[in-house]
């Protein structure tokens, strides 16, 4: 009976993605988050890249010293933004990787599409936190709405667009339909 479930590609995808996500969730919640610096490294990278982008755009930044890892940055003279673990993009990285592993497609394409997708998600998150720092600078009252809705929608839409691109351009669906 279980073997029969895996013959249907959609059912196989649902089961495999659910199992992989549960493995990721428990590994992250009960080991990685408490015993590694995974969140801190990603957040520190967002701060460094966000500050670099602000400097490139001609803004001076406030030199916040948060300790070994920084999680706060902003335009000079403002409160800036603080990046917490829920906003660092790690959950999106995990969802993207789980989807890519679970969905059919040639491994040779997954080898380059996975890192490219992760880099795009991280880059989009850099743009997001930088834009939020600029919103705080120009009109802080717009921060909450844009943080909660605008950028959440944009980032999740981008992840779905990557999935869609994988399905349409690289998955095995076309070859499965032909056989």
Place of tokens 């995808």: 13
Stretch 27-32: mean pLDDT: 94
Displacement of CA 136 from its chain's centroid (Å): 22
Where residue 9 falls among pLDDT bands split at 50, 70, 90? confident
Question: Which pLDDT belongs to residue 179?
Answer: 36
What Å distances lie between residue 64 and 30, 59, 67, 76, CA to CA? 30, 15, 9, 10
pTM: 0.89
Q: Check pLDDT > 70 for residue 2.
A: no
Contact 114, 105 (CB under 8 A): no
Spatial CA neighbour of 61 closest among 123, 128, 133: 133
Stretch 82-99: mean pLDDT: 94
> 156 is written with which tokens?
């999740």
H or E stretch including 73? strand 72-73
């Amino acid at each position: 009976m279980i073997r029969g479930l895996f013959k249907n590609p959609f059912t196989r995808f649902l089961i495999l993605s659910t199992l992989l996500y549960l493995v990721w969730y428990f590994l992250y919640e009960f080991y990685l988050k408490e015993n590694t610096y995974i969140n801190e490294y990603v957040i520190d990278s967002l701060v460094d890249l966000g500050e670099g982008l602000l400097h490139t755009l001609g803004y001076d930044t406030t030199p916040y010293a948060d300790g070994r890892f920084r999680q706060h940055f902003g335009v000079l003279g403002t409160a800036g933004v603080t990046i917490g673990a829920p906003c660092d993009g790690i959950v999106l990285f995990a969802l993207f990787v789980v989807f890519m592993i679970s969905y059919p497609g040639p491994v040779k394409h997954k080898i380059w599409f996975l890192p490219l997708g992760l880099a795009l998600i991280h880059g989009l998150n850099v743009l997001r936190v930088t834009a939020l720092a600029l919103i705080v600078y120009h009109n802080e009252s717009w921060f909450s709405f844009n943080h909660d809705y605008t950028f959440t929608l944009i980032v999740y839409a981008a992840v779905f667009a990557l999935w869609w691109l994988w399905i349409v351009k690289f998955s095995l669906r076309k070859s499965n339909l032909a056989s």
